[in-house]
Structure 1
Amino acid sequence: MKRDIRILMHTHWDREWYFTKDETKVLLRNHMQDVMDYLEENPETIYILDGQSVMIDDYLELEPTQEPRLKRLIQSGNLRVGPWYTQTDLLLVHGESIFRNLYYGIKRAREFGEPMLVGYAPDTFGHASQMPQIYQHFGIESTFFWRGFSELKAKKSDFLWEGIDGTQIFGVNLATGYQGAKYLESDASLLSERMAKLMSVLDAYSASNSRLIMNGHDQMPLQRDIKQVITALEKLYPEDNFSLTDFEGYLHTLNKEDLEIVKGELTDSKHARIHRTIGSTRMDIKLLNNEIETKLYHTLEPLAVIGERVGIPYPHGVVEKVAKLLFGAHAHDSIGGCNSDAVNQDIRQRLINAKEMVDTQIDLHLRLLTMANKETDQTIVIVNPLPEKRTDEMVSLEMITRTKNFLLYDESGQEIDYVIEHQQIEDAGLIDRQVAARLKDIQVYRTKVYVSVDEMLGLSARYVTYEEVETERAEEVQSIESMIENQFGQLFIENNQLHYRHKATNRLFTNVLSIENSGDAGDSYDYSPPVNDWVLNSKDVGELSYQVEKRDLSEVIQLTIAFDVPSHQTERENKQATTQVEFTGTCRLFNNDPKVYVELNHTNVTADSRYRLVFHTGIVTNQVKVDGYLSDQFKPVYLTEPLTIWEQDNWVEKPVSIETMQSYLSLTADDQFNLYTKGLKEYEVVGDCAYLTLFRTFSHLGKRNLVNRPGRPSGIEIKTPDNQLTNTTFTFNCAFDFEQIETQNKQAKSYLTPFVAYQRKAFNRFNINPRPNVALDEADVTLDLGQCVVSAVKCTEDNQLFVRLYNPMFETENLTLPPGTQIANAMEESLHVVEQVEVRPQQIIQFILHH
């Protein structure tokens, strides 16, 4: 059979890894000069710029005068850019970050020519099951990738990939890697030997007579003698046809009817490592990233929609800047944390900068809303960031007052109840420099409270007021009891352990929450159990001290979990535990809410360790329900088939049964356990326990011959002492309940999108003027979405209201939308008017509303 051998010229451009993004920017300048010279000299050549448009920006930052030249080569089709803005991870970041990365990548590429609409993700550590649909929303009908494939998925490397909703796109596994034909030899003998190895693999795995050869590598310069190499190849294989190609050219040779169908996630590690436990590497960076994503997508954007409606200009530039700072940290190595210490320091600082921007913009919007109340300065604004009606919820509010006590009032003057979480005295001069400049000594009270909110319509805001009073308010009742409760259950301490009694079923869940410490002999890519591990659990060796506080709205256990653990691996091997570690925090119950809200604080003082929360659920099952990108899915608790064959089949990495979720997991048998998390995404289920990784510490970027990963090191073997996270302080948040529900995804969205409240304060870091035409209205956007879940509420670039939602249920949801609603694509472009829409199971839809 005559083979159609297609050579694709490209570079894979890691912006940072064990080198910094600033180093690669300088290298990129030289690389682009070389590539553009060659393409102009050889106009029949196609070159792929790694599928990420950020390379345009990085290059033009140093060579702005070269934009016309670059644009000509992109418009001519010689240089292919997009669809991504950066080469993102496809399991660990927020689902909206995937949409926005593609949005900004395609948008930037369009400014120079036609974007490459191919889901090229060559080196990403696995692919989520919702990606076919996400790709298709951007007009992308294919993906080319390296990691995640095995023969358990399909016999051939060309297939149809079916997403969790049934969407099908072309899937092409790069069977010889994106680097298989790097630096092809000019010597005929060496070239023949090299090609024999490549062709044996491609002949075995290709589903047609076409063969795709990837001529490129990490930061690899363009191979200038490629034409001479092709001439030599034509002599070696006179029966075959050789040509330079792009991805689309290869796709045209495939026949859908001949292809197998592959379903679900692409996370097998037979041919390439997936690093299934990278989800807990550098948790300081991952938690910071998650905090920014949540604030940007769940709070700032919907808040800015309300602001735009009442006269505060939508902060398009701030949103884009923050998003692109995030995308710069979302490359598989970057968010993976598998970098040198210097790079991780840079990533963390860039995320801190992004956090400062998003926090300040949220604060500014809320402050402008409070200043719009002309009736009183004693103003608090409360915002519902979801386009749905919500009732009987709590909102967290920070107050700064001159008096210790204050009263809150609703619009009708009725007093509103609240509960104090924390209060401290501060010097007002540390908040507002004008106080210090005037040599005033003013003490204020900073108080964090939870306020009860009876009802709010969707995307609405309301004012409440406050009064500073001298009258002593009833304090929290400190109880000698060891139990807190509400109408759903009782949480109590007995025999040095936490237990939960579920009132509806009268089931007792003993030792419901504890902390596990174990060793970690791994590297920045993978947790690895030490050969001689010593696992300790706080329930067995710890001491649990506590104090109970009870109020009408809330009951809380203030607790400290302390236990002795090894300080480093040598102590662990010798079964020595010389270092005491403490986790302090709260377990809180609210009225009308079945969840137990857990917050734990910890400063790390140990090395070579892994810490996990252990939830003893009493439930044994073979599957776990979790959320993926804009979807629900069931995952096996144990990867039976891969774990049965991985050694005899020579997989490059053990397919450990440690998985990734987005924000919740649920276990169901006779009882049900639901766990909701903020940024904690790595879990394992063993027996009747669910394990949630808090963080891990280790010594090197890469190591060789790990227990679960034989052979060469991933990355390079350099010491990374920062990865021990010495003296790093963490705050972990999660919530759990034992309710029999199917709407965990909707619950998780509500958990991550609480009401927002803000007090107009007398003391501020910066002075601003009120906007003269801002007036808070009584408008709202209240949609009846059934069980569909909102993913995004934002303004398009021309300030239309854009909503993205999805149906996580396994039944179709029928929605009635407001008159004039237009279905939109993922580029936020209107398609057609619709008022009634069926949303299939796991389907994503986007629409534009008039508001």
Structure 2
Amino acid sequence: MTVQKTAHVISHSHWDREWYLPFEKHRIRLVELMDALIELFESDPDFRSFHLDGQTIVLEDYLQIRPDKQEIVARMVREGKLHIGPWYILQDEFLTSSEANIRNLLAGHADARKFGAVSKIGYFPDSFGNMGQAPQILMQAGIDTAVFGRGVKPVGLNNEVKGAYESAFSEMNWQSPDGSSVLGILFANWYHNGMEIPDNADEAAAYWARKMTDAEKYASTPHLLFMNGCDHQPVQTNLSEALRTARSLYPDVRFVHSSFDDYVANVKAALPSNLSTIHGELRSQRTNGWWTLANTASARVYLKQANQRVQTQLEKVAEPLAVFAMLAGHAYPQHLLAYAWKTLMQNHPHDSICGCSVDEVHREMQVRFDKSFQVAEQVASDSLQAIVSQIGTEAVFAESSIPFTVFNTSGWVRTGVVSVDLEIKRLPFAGGKRERIISELKELSLNRFVVKDASGNRLDAAVEDLGVTFGYELPKDRFRQPYMARSVRVRFLAQHVPGLGYRTFALCRDESGSAVPAIRQAEGRRMENEFLTVTVAEDGTYGIEDKRNGSVFTGLGAYENVGDVGNEYIFRAPDSDVSLTTRGLPADICVEEQTSFRTVIAIVHRWNVPASADDVLDREVAEFVPFLERKAQRSERTVPLAITTRLTLEQGVPQLHVQTSFRNEAKDHRLRVLFPTQIDAKVHYADSVFEAAERETVPAPTWTNPSHCQHMQAFVNVRDTARGLTVGTLGLNEYELLRDGQGTIAVTLLRAVRELGDWGVFHTPEAQCPGDHTLEYVLIPHGPDQDTEQSYVAAYQAQIPWTAVQGQVQPGSLPPDHQFVRWSGDGLALSAVKRCGSSEDLMLRWFNMTKRPAELRVEQIHGIERMLYRSNVLEEEGGGVRLGEPIPVRPAEIVTIGGKRP
């Protein structure tokens, strides 16, 4: 019996919010599309549905211009004609944090519900690879189907899996590391395979003969998918007539103007039993390697740095502090944080955060980053003041003391050097008394100041005089209050500050004698603490000896420079390009700072590199020569590239912090830092979305690209059974494990190119990234087993800034040292501390970094004694959990716990 084929035609337009045109120019076309779509729904009853690209921001952008269309749009959604959500934006999954991916889903659901319905399709049409935990995230959100365009190489000849092919069909099971599985549907013929359907019979016959054959090559069921649209595609207004023509030409095929809900339901009912199962990340690793688009991780690195800074300020500083303040009785600023998150996420579409748009787009992104950070910073500041105003200090510090509190907003106990600015004395500022006020403040003596903890222990500290500074207060009940103050900067080692808690210290007068001097005489190129010894060679490379296990890493930190004649999407070195490195180049080396708690060694390389590509590249770009066919070489002219490296080793901290600074005057090149590990490992590990992803070091046999760059979030790790090295980064998202016999980790610091690439000629001079750059990263050697996970924790903490604020001697309801949330769980990483978006409940989220079962205990939450509950990524209430009760956690599982406040 012949089964009738059904052609499901789904109308859509893939809407890159900003890309080869800046946002507002694209938005004008969006308004035109939506106006035409509304008119078509009203005039043509046979035009049944439109998929609005899985992102609710499209409606936000439209209704800002057309607020009068709000109710019409809502009616279209309620009637099932317009399908919206589940995301707020179509993000790049690998360049946005784990929490950013969740907040994107939360915001999309919240926005879609306001209109009446959420499309429960995991829509990833154009992501540059897909996160391995997507099935788990989707399942927790009640979504059991993912539709995606990249990451998997489908089917061999006659629907057979051969060689490196990953699926026999465009339909497959997609499984996360925790075992969660969804139906995966690949756009095997891309998301434009049903665009611009002819209504003319002759043209339609040729069109459908080709399109039907292409779809049948991959489909596992008689239900064939045709996506009627493409990037910024206007709605096809004559689609109903075109489908009538198709029905007349192919009476044995059922042509329907469909939706994803109808299409997926029909596919599920007809699926065969022999679907392939794909696992984890989808990164096109079984291809030739040229079109993975992984090099977007290094395009415009300054954007990635800004994104990491703002994400961290929101999710790891502002939100935890706001929760602490909430638990202490203050209101949680949900509206402000929601605004800050949305502003940040407007920078997360794949063509935005990937740095692969025209220059105007990325200038506007900088403004959004600034706006979001300003809100997060103010929320943090207000929360700090609310907390510190309740900390009782009068029982532990003298009245003349200047208390200050150091907050650890990470999930684990932490030790490190903290810097805090303190006001010794403040005087109201009055214009006529300016000279007297300044003179009085300058006369204050700063001698014999020491730092003490709440137990009265004196701590070694460096106190720097900042002189007389201007400041102001903005009281809630009166006009602004300017003042002048005598200020100092205090640096000291804060030890064992509890996770999700604080310790209070004070700057005190010590009349018994002078303060313990923090500065010591220093010499040589060697520094050490109780964990590590660091030695710098004459060429500026350095070695690290791990005292705990005797392992040694040498030759670390050389810089590599090569040419790049590719584009914002793809790195390509010129033919026969020779890699330049600083190995063997003499460096200027000095001890820049040494105290009892920190040593800093500065290394300066004075280097010359080619100024740019040669003139051939100008012609090749202008004439749209494909990047793989380009013959351009590097220029013989050189420009200076002076690189300053600062190595910082703190007492009590088993890691080396590195800062690299330089002014980029060169063009068309890439700069990386190299860390040979001498570890021969078939696999390595990279921080990805809610997992430490295991990846193959050597690519598949199909891979022909000489480069094998990959994404990371906070770290990359290489190890064997005895030792390992974790490289943690701040906003550096691209690495490569070199196949050089030395197990070298190469981290990209800068990639400078001149064009957007893709489908046309778009010059992007600002993508050359001229000017000053400062990059930060940490090196964390470790031993076997659990030491590896501790190195991951250290990398996560390295991204989170210390937070310190001045208080006063006062009574209070909070103790000088305190932990708001106490939890335990080997192998677990804390991801979020926030309030629920739709209730007053506290939400805490973890994930299992390991492949073994774990156990979570939430032992204490300030002010919460009632039952907790299991939740999900949508923050919905589930089964109850008692404080202190062990909660089983599957390997790689994401766990969210909710708590109700009294």
Whether these two folds match at TM > 0.5 is: yes
Instruction: Choose 751-760 or 289-298, whichever is displaced more.
Output: 751-760
1:495–1:259 Cα change, 3 Å = same
Following superposition of structure 1 onto structure 2, how do residues 375-454 of structure 1 map, counting pairs within 5 Å? 375=394, 378-386=402-410, 390=413, 392-399=415-422, 406-418=449-461, 423=464, 425=466, 428-429=469-470, 444=486, 447=489, 449-454=491-496
| 1:518 equivalent in alignment to 2:583 | no
Where does residue 665 of structure 1 map in the other structure? Answer: 716
CA distance in 2, matches of 1:439, 1:82: 48
Instruction: Choose 732-741 or 719-728, whichever is displaced more.
Output: 732-741
Q: Is the 8 A contact 1:534 1:575 kept in 2?
A: no
Q: Give RMSD over aligned pairs.
A: 3.0
CA distance in 2, matches of 1:184, 1:518: 47
CA distance in 2, matches of 1:41, 1:414: 80
Where does residue 742 of structure 1 map in the other structure? Answer: 788
Write out per-residue CA displacement over residues 473-521 of structure 1, whole angstroms, 9 at most, x where no aligned residue.
Answer: 5242241221001222211123323222233443443212121111111
Choose which of 57, 62, 81 in structure 2 pairs with 1:59: 62
| 1:562 equivalent in alignment to 2:645 | no
Q: CA deviation at 1:65?
A: 2.5
Q: Is the 8 A contact 1:484 1:550 kept in 2?
A: no
1:234–1:445 Cα change, 3 Å = same
| 1:793 equivalent in alignment to 2:833 | yes
Q: CA deviation at 1:312?
A: 3.0
Equivalent position amino acid for 1:261 in 2: T
Where does residue 706 of structure 1 map in the other structure? Answer: none
Where does residue 765 of structure 1 map in the other structure? Answer: none
CA distance in 2, matches of 1:655, 1:319: 44
Where does residue 40 of structure 2 map in the other structure? Answer: 38
SS across alignment from 1:86:
coil
CA distance in 2, matches of 1:717, 1:488: 53
| 1:263 equivalent in alignment to 2:279 | yes
Following superposition of structure 1 onto structure 2, how do residues 548-587 of structure 1 map, counting pairs within 5 Å? 549-570=593-614, 573=633, 576=636, 578-587=638-647
Q: Is the 8 A contact 1:419 1:451 kept in 2?
A: no
Equivalent position amino acid for 2:26 in 1: T
Where does residue 729 of structure 2 map in the other structure? Answer: 677
1:366–1:585 Cα change, 3 Å = farther
Choose which of 507, 517, 535 in structure 2 pairs with 1:492: 535
5+ residue gaps in structure 2? Answer: 155-164, 425-440, 616-631, 860-865
1:186–1:655 Cα change, 3 Å = farther
Following superposition of structure 1 onto structure 2, how do residues 678-697 of structure 1 map, counting pairs within 5 Å? 678-686=730-738, 687=740, 688=742, 689-697=744-752
Where does residue 844 of structure 1 map in the other structure? Answer: 894
Write out per-residue CA displacement over residues 42-101 of structure 1, whole angstroms, 9 at most, x where no aligned residue.
Answer: 455011111101112112212223212111110111110000001111111101000000
Q: Is the 8 A contact 1:52 1:84 kept in 2?
A: yes
1:359–1:560 Cα change, 3 Å = farther
CA distance in 2, matches of 1:107, 1:391: 36
Choose which of 154, 167, 178 in structure 1 pairs with 2:191: 178
1:352–1:755 Cα change, 3 Å = closer
Q: Is the 8 A contact 2:574 2:634 kept in 1?
A: no
Equivalent position amino acid for 1:232 in 2: T
CA distance in 1, matches of 2:799, 2:783: 19
SS across alignment from 1:640:
coil
CA distance in 2, matches of 1:125, 1:49: 20
1:541–1:717 Cα change, 3 Å = farther
Q: CA deviation at 1:391?
A: 5.6
Equivalent position amino acid for 1:449 in 2: R
SS across alignment from 2:262:
helix
SS across alignment from 2:892:
coil
Q: Is the 8 A contact 2:612 2:635 kept in 1?
A: no
CA distance in 2, matches of 1:262, 1:472: 63
Where does residue 241 of structure 1 map in the other structure? Answer: 254
CA distance in 2, matches of 1:124, 1:267: 10
Equivalent position amino acid for 1:268 in 2: S
Q: Is the 8 A contact 2:664 2:772 kept in 1?
A: yes
Where does residue 614 of structure 1 map in the other structure? Answer: 674
Instruction: Choose 138-147 or 771-780, whichever is displaced more.
Output: 771-780
CA distance in 1, matches of 2:415, 2:471: 36
SS across alignment from 1:700:
coil
Where does residue 324 of structure 1 map in the other structure? Answer: 342
Q: Is the 8 A contact 1:281 1:525 kept in 2?
A: yes
| 1:201 equivalent in alignment to 2:211 | no
SS across alignment from 1:569:
coil
CA distance in 2, matches of 1:585, 1:445: 30
5+ residue gaps in structure 1? Answer: 647-653, 703-713, 763-769
Following superposition of structure 1 onto structure 2, how do residues 64-463 of structure 1 map, counting pairs within 5 Å? 64-151=67-154, 152-252=165-265, 253-254=267-268, 255=271, 257-268=273-284, 270=287, 273-373=291-391, 375=394, 378-386=402-410, 390=413, 392-399=415-422, 406-418=449-461, 423=464, 425=466, 428-429=469-470, 444=486, 447=489, 449-456=491-498, 458-463=499-504
Q: Is the 8 A contact 2:391 2:811 kept in 1?
A: no
1:358–1:215 Cα change, 3 Å = same
1:391–1:180 Cα change, 3 Å = closer
CA distance in 1, matches of 2:481, 2:856: 59
Q: CA deviation at 1:810?
A: 1.4
Q: CA deviation at 1:233?
A: 0.9
CA distance in 2, matches of 1:387, 1:531: 48
Where does residue 28 of structure 2 map in the other structure? Answer: 26
Write out per-residue CA displacement over residues 404-435 of structure 1, whole angstroms, 9 at most, x where no aligned residue.
Answer: 66422222333233357xx574651388999x
Q: Is the 8 A contact 2:193 2:227 kept in 1?
A: yes
Equivalent position amino acid for 1:804 in 2: R
1:508–1:262 Cα change, 3 Å = closer
Write out per-residue CA displacement over residues 816-850 of structure 1, whole angstroms, 9 at most, x where no aligned residue.
Answer: 44561101122212111134421111011111024
Identity of aligned residues (%): 24
Write out per-residue CA displacement over residues 630-687 of structure 1, whole angstroms, 9 at most, x where no aligned residue.
Answer: 11221011212331xx6xxxxxxx4942111111111113531121111212110113
CA distance in 1, matches of 2:737, 2:126: 28
Q: CA deviation at 1:318?
A: 1.7
Q: CA deviation at 1:244?
A: 1.2
Q: CA deviation at 1:775?
A: 9.7
Q: CA deviation at 1:166?
A: 1.5
| 1:597 equivalent in alignment to 2:657 | yes
Write out per-residue CA displacement over residues 790-830 of structure 1, whole angstroms, 9 at most, x where no aligned residue.
Answer: 11111113221101111111110123445611011222121
Following superposition of structure 1 onto structure 2, how do residues 822-841 of structure 1 map, counting pairs within 5 Å? 822-835=869-882, 836-841=886-891
Size of the aligned set, in residue pairs, is 817
CA distance in 1, matches of 2:391, 2:634: 66
Where does residue 482 of structure 1 map in the other structure? Answer: 525
CA distance in 2, matches of 1:48, 1:575: 49
Q: CA deviation at 1:469?
A: 7.8
CA distance in 2, matches of 1:773, 1:373: 6
TM superposition score normalised by structure 2: 0.85
Write out per-residue CA displacement over residues 11-63 of structure 1, whole angstroms, 9 at most, x where no aligned residue.
Answer: 11111002122223332222222112222334550111111011121122122
Runs of 4+ in 1 over 6 A off after TM superposition: 430-434, 437-440, 770-777
Q: CA deviation at 1:776?
A: 8.4
Q: Is the 8 A contact 2:564 2:752 kept in 1?
A: yes
Choose which of 750, 772, 776 in structure 2 pairs with 1:732: 776
Write out per-residue CA displacement over residues 339-398 of structure 1, whole angstroms, 9 at most, x where no aligned residue.
Answer: 11111111122112212222222223223433445756823122232455x264544434
CA distance in 1, matches of 2:490, 2:645: 15
Q: CA deviation at 1:277?
A: 1.0
| 1:466 equivalent in alignment to 2:510 | no
Q: CA deviation at 1:576?
A: 4.2
Instruction: Choose 656-665 or 4-13, whichever is displaced more.
Output: 656-665
